Amino acid sequence: MVLLGIRILFVKGGKFPDLHIDGNKALRKKGIHCARAQDLEARKAGRNM
């Protein structure tokens, strides 16, 4: 935690890394989203499970 805090405080524009699935470019290219987003997409498309 201390090292993450140092990065955030002392690096210009420093922020916590995005650990969410949607933040991963490789997964986005494959069309993989978080479960909540995939469920919302399925419900909008009328494919309720």
Question: Residues near 49 by Cβ (< 8 Å), separated by ≥ 6?
Answer: 42
Give residue-wise pLDDT tens across range 4-22: 677 777 777 777 677 778 7
Residue 3 pLDDT > 70 = yes
* CA angle in degrees (0–180, nearest 5) for 14-20-24: 85
Residue 49 pLDDT > 60 = no
Question: Residues near 4 by Cβ (< 8 Å), separated by ≥ 6?
Answer: 16
Spacing of C-alpha 32 from chain mean position: 11
